[in-house]
Amino acid sequence: MQAMDDHDGESSVDHDEQESGSEPEDQEMGSSGEQDEIEELEPDSEPKMKSGAKRNADRDQQKNLLRERKARRLHGDVVQAAHTAWGSESIKSAPVEERVGRVEAVLDQVQALLSQICVKHDISRLIQSCVKYGSDEQRSLIAGHLKGQVTTLSINQYSCHVILKLLRYGSKTVQGVIVSELTGNLAKLALHRVGFRVVDLAWRSCCNTQQKQGMMFEFYGKEHSLFRDKSAEAPSMADVFKSLDETKAAAFLGSVRMFIDKCILKGTLQQSLLHSVLRQYLELADDRDALIESLKDLSLQLCATLDGVIATCIMLDYASSKQRKSIVKSWKGQIGNMCKDSDGFLAIAKSLSVLDDTVLLEKSVINEINAANDIMQCAPGCKLLLQVLAPGEPRYFTSSEQKILKTVPGTSKKSDDARRQEVLKIILPSLIANLKGNYIMSCMLLRDRILGPVFLETVKCAEQFPGTIADSCTEFVNDLIQRFSDDDLADLDKGHVIGHPVGHRIFKTLAISCPITVRPALVKFCLANIDTIMSSRAVWILVALAEADETFRKAVKPRQRKFKGAATPGVTKLKEIVSAK
């Protein structure tokens, strides 16, 4: 290391000589001066460290300077007094009486200037805590001091959080006061990068259906917002549209479309109010193509609300093939979460019903569905799968869900049946593999009234594909029923899948519907355990087998005199079938 330092020093001297043209004597004097400095530093070669007291003194001095700067600001003394009154201890674990007292102490200091100082970030956070931990009376007091300034405060990046807290924690009266002040300024706030959050929370949490319809009038144009009869109930967008002639109806939709376009441009698409406006506009408008083109890469923001999901489904119905692909691609990485969302699954189900490019479906959608291993363990995920396995089945979907998922004729090149068959060929192997590799999950599905239909429809659909899919399903069912035999069959009605209220109904249906994949293994199991099965609700599986399978009927007929529990309806029905045929 010393040799390297010497070499560097020599190089530096040579360089200085070349650049400055200095004489050798000057270099020697410089070396002598440097040597003197080194000699002076030798007694205290290590740098001196500040003592702890000195560091604390410097820190205190910095804090004092900071306090002085804050005190010189507008209303700085009031802000400082409020912080002092609040104290430094945590309020989360404090008793209610202490919380109310600390909030009261703060309000005593700031209430006269509350609307002026809550635009500052530090006091804004303090007032938010007062709203959260204060009493209803204190929240009403805070709202009263902000009265007349709600709209202005809603567009400030700090004070808007005070308004949000009042909407979240305030009483119905406080919420009503804030909503009434927002009314008339909703169009302005909905387009503001900060203010739209206040409008969104007010819409979601503080308004009933009638209030929401009244708020939407501000986006229909000044003619409708200024001259509406506020004493009567506000009509919906569809009712307003139907009441207008052709010219006025076009102008009406033009005003709504202008508002939607501005929201897209301003980046405030995620607000719930806009989702409702967009859904109703798409249901009424004929010219949707340009709007779909603007929204095709932003549809993920819409899928946070039911109205947004419905709007997305309408877009998928009427979009071109290229636009549909863009919409689906915009969901990348979030499809697993959407499948488990109570509303989001509808958008995924719709894409599986309308997208003709099954290669893209497999890469962009189905692969992410398969990667979400717990999709069959939640109700939304099961409904998504059922839309492929049994589309539009009234037993599995509500009337509103059926309406949303119904496809529009003539908007796709492939027929619904042809597309479904292609999707089934892709998705069935992974569903069967998931069931085959998880015996506990299979039993859980067979015991659940909501999740069980996925097991039922998966096996029924596999029956329609002779070959690899059907063989794989048969192997799975054989292994499953064999494991049933290994379980305790002493009392089927107390826990066993075959005797479960849901499980026995599923196998009863499969006994009739699946002569290839299920019936042979089920016949073998039932004949081996017929005496035990006869004394439980699983006897209805025997009834189904007797109706559907002649081999089983012949095997059971010689045993009918030994049937036990002849008084039960199931055994009586079984005797009738066996005796009659």
Ordered DSSP codes for 497-540: TTTSTTHHHHHHHHHHH-TTTTHHHHHHHHHHTHHHHHTSTTHH
Give the pLDDT score at 522.
92
pLDDT at 341: 94
Average pLDDT of the residues in 20-29: 38
Give the residue-averaged pLDDT of 287-312.
94
Task: Report the pLDDT value the prediction gives residue 14, as an integer from 0 to 100.
Answer: 42
Tell me, what's the pLDDT at 216? 87
Tally the residues of the chain: 581
Please tell me the distance from the alpha carbon of residue 434 to that of residue 372, in angstroms, as a whole number. Answer: 11
Most confident of 53-67, 69-83, 549-563: 549-563
Of 5-19, 82-96, 246-260, where does the model show the most confidence? 246-260
Q: What are phi and psi of 51, to 5 degrees?
A: -70, 165
Torsion sign over Cα 228, 232, 234, 236? negative
* Separation CA 167–CA 9 (nearest Å): 71
Radius of gyration, alpha carbons of the chain:
37
How many whole angstroms separate alpha carbon 292 and alpha carbon 282?
9
Q: pLDDT tens for residues 162-214?
A: 999 999 999 999 999 999 999 889 989 999 999 999 999 999 998 888 888 88
Cβ contact 296:326 at 8 Å: yes
DSSP string, 397-436: S-HHHHHHHPPPTTSSSS-HHHHHHHHHHHHHHHHHHHHH
**pLDDT given for residue 43 in this prediction:** 46
Do residues 262 and 191 make contact, with C-beta atoms less than 8 angstroms apart?
Answer: yes
As given in the structure block, the two tokens for residue 211 are: 């209030």
The pLDDT, as a whole number, for residue 323 is 95
Percent over 90 (pLDDT), the chain: 55
- 49 pLDDT higher than 80: no
* Locus of tokens 């539009």: 392
Distance CA 156, CA 121 (A): 10
Domain extents in the chain: 70-180, 437-581
In the chain, % helix, strand, coil (3-state, to 5) comes to: 70, 0, 30
Q: What is the DSSP letter of 207?
A: -
Instruction: Look at residue 3 and tell me whether its pLDDT is greater than 60.
Output: no
> Degrees (nearest 5) of the Cα angle 539, 540, 545?
100
472-484 tens-digit pLDDT: 999 999 999 888 8
Mean pLDDT across 127-156: 94
Q: Worst-scoring range by mean pLDDT, 146-155, 156-165, 373-382, 479-488?
A: 479-488
Lowest mean pLDDT among 23-37, 102-116, 214-228, 282-296: 23-37
Q: How far apart are CA 166 and CA 149, in angstroms?
A: 14
